[in-house]
Amino acid sequence: MVKSNLILVLGDQLTLDIAAIKKADKSKDYIILAEVDAEAEYVKHHPKKIAFIFSAMRHFATRLRKLGWKVLYSEINDPENSQNIIGEVLRYAEKVDANELVVTKPGEWRLIKVLEDIPLKVAILEDDRFIASHAEFENWASDKKTLRMEFFYREMRRKTNLLMDGDKPIGGKWNFDKENRKSPPKKIISPKVINFKNDETTENVLYLVNERYNSHFGELYPFNYAVTPEEANLALEKFINESLSLFGDYQDAMMLDEPFLYHALISLYLNTGLLDPLETCRKVEKAFINGVAPLNAVEGFIRQIIGWREYIRGIYFLKGPDYLDQNYLDAKRKLPSFYWSGDTKMRCVSQAVLQTKIHSYAHHIQRLMVTGNFALLADIDPKEVHYWYLSVYIDAFEWVEAPNTLGMSQFSDGGVVASKPYISSGAYINRMSNYCKKCHYDVKDKLGEKACPFNALYWSFLIRHKGKFSSNPRMAQMYRNWDRQDENVKTATLSKAQTILSQISKSGTI
């Protein structure tokens, strides 16, 4: 008799196009989906993220069964559930006397390792939901001195033929960012995101998540995210029709009580298999062809997906597990408690943290130039920052979160992802947001009682790490600006920064 294989599908692999399912035989193989505490708790994920994943898993299992697949599903409150992935695979392996475990490569070294070590015959297949394979990225990287995203992106444009006119980019330029990144307008009426109605499956999951993980950071209710590919597609369509045309212009803008602005809010769906990246980009390209959105917006959006998203994944797998342990700037401070409470007088930070608490979402510039910028300026241990981002964001899976946090945001890889640290004083935040007008601190002040903490911290960061950055041509102007300042002001600035850091160490906030 031909033995069955066990096909393990993880909570971020919820598509029929996943490699392990594409290789499976419906007539004899079993698909395993397992809700387990180990995955929900190895970092304490935001309850909305856990609910999103469990509900999407349950909906996917229903779909598989309707299509005739045999599904072995572990619900979180099943008393027989061993509460970890390996335990569940071994339990089912015994039950069905399986031949082999087949799994698509997880997006995290931790899980890859435990699956490689499982006492079963196992096949780990490459995840081919991406545009570039591991081999293609390695090949691209092999002869490069520096791994800059922009050049990799051009390769991806050529490969996908997105926004191409023969071998030339449409519009004559690869990148239209000069036309993007406007300051926020005085008034904005940003389109509302769809609040999906929860069905019985989602309501059951919400009940269980609320009971089980209510000590985790974040608010479970209201829960309105899509949990099926059909719903995720509706969210994408709405973005294309109502927000895409202004996506480029206000990509970097931040506004009080406007968490989403013109962003797509689709990373959670792309990263879990509810949306396909290439199909998404083709729909967005069509919006340009049909005159629904301008080139600067469409090119900017496509670059985020076939450029940044693919590049970041390439870096994670190219650099290996040791990438997580790097700490180029030797940053050692503890993460201030206001990252978990939002309890700070810095309006920009409290906005980012409180939105994250409610939605499990903040947009790119809030992540990079508010919470990330502050952590970098304050020498926070990158591991603690990584733990925070991985647990609080609904779209966070290590392959995409770690290079963004450790590389792009915290410079802990010494400049693999970023050619210079993403740091700024309050002036940048003031230019790109309306936060400062409603802040306790004065963004124009560097030294006074109410001086914006970003200002002194910015200069003290530059001076503390002068040995590492002063020869970087992209930072020369910053050091020249410092040199031009009065000696007394310099001394007072560094002392102010010290006072801020001591205050945070003592009271956990500022």
Residues that bind ligand FAD (CB under 6 A): 263-267, 270-271, 301, 304-305, 308-309, 312, 363-364, 367-368, 372, 389, 393, 395-396, 400-401, 404-405, 408-409
Indicate the residue among 174 and 435 with the shorter CB distance to ligand SF4: 435
Indicate the residue among 194 and 208 with the shorter CB distance to ligand DLZ: 208
Indicate the residue among 93 and 408 with the shorter CB distance to ligand FAD: 408
Indicate the residue among 201 and 272 with the shorter CB distance to ligand FAD: 272
Among ligand SF4, ligand FAD, ligand DLZ, none, what binds residue 205 when CB lies within 5 to 8 Å by partner kind? Answer: none
Helix axes 277-289, 229-242, angle to 10 degrees: 30
Which two three-digit tokens encode residue 354? Answer: 């409180």
Assess 280 for contact with ligand SF4 (CB under 6 A): no
* 38-59 CB burial, b ≥16 within 10 A, e <16: bbbeebbbbbbbbbbbbbbbbb
Nearest one of 492, 112, 36 to 320, comparing CA atoms: 112
The three state secondary structure string of 378-442 is CCECHHHHHHHHHHHCCCCCHHHHHHHHHHHHCCCCCCCCCCCCCCCCHHHHHHHECCHHHCCCE
Nearest one of 413, 403, 345 to 374, comparing CA atoms: 345
Peptide bond into 222 cis (omega under 30): yes
Among ligand FAD, ligand DLZ, ligand SF4, none, what binds residue 443 when CB lies within 5 to 8 Å by partner kind? Answer: ligand SF4
Among ligand SF4, ligand FAD, ligand DLZ, none, what binds residue 45 when CB lies within 5 to 8 Å by partner kind? Answer: ligand DLZ
Whether residue 408 contacts residue 375, with contact meaning beta carbons closer than 8 Å, is answered with: no
Interacting residues with ligand SF4 between 323 and 382 (CB under 6 A)? 346-348
Q: Binding pattern to ligand DLZ, positions 41-70, x when CB under 6 A? A: ----x----x--x-----------------
Indicate the residue among 85 and 293 with the shorter CB distance to ligand DLZ: 85
Segment near ligand SF4 (CB under 6 A); pick from 86-94, 275-283, 355-363, 431-439: 431-439
Among ligand FAD, ligand DLZ, ligand SF4, none, what binds residue 377 when CB lies within 5 to 8 Å by partner kind? Answer: none
| CA 152 – CA 141 distance, rounded (Å) | 9
Assess 315 for contact with ligand DLZ (CB under 6 A): no
Q: Which are the contacts of 186, defined by CB distance < 8 A and separation ≥ 6?
A: none
Nearest one of 441, 456, 443 to 499, comparing CA atoms: 456
Whether residue 509 contacts residue 338, with contact meaning beta carbons closer than 8 Å, is answered with: yes
Assess 115 for contact with ligand SF4 (CB under 6 A): no
Task: Identify the DSSP state of 201.
Answer: H
Backbone angles phi, psi at 465, to 5 degrees: -110, 25
Q: Considering only residues 4, 5, 7, 10, which one is a binding residue for ligand DLZ as defined by CB under 6 A?
A: 10
Q: Binding pattern to ligand DLZ, positions 76-105, x when CB under 6 A? A: ---------x--------------------
**Residues at the interface with ligand DLZ (CB under 6 A):** 10-12, 34-36, 39-40, 45, 50, 53, 85, 106-108, 111, 397-398
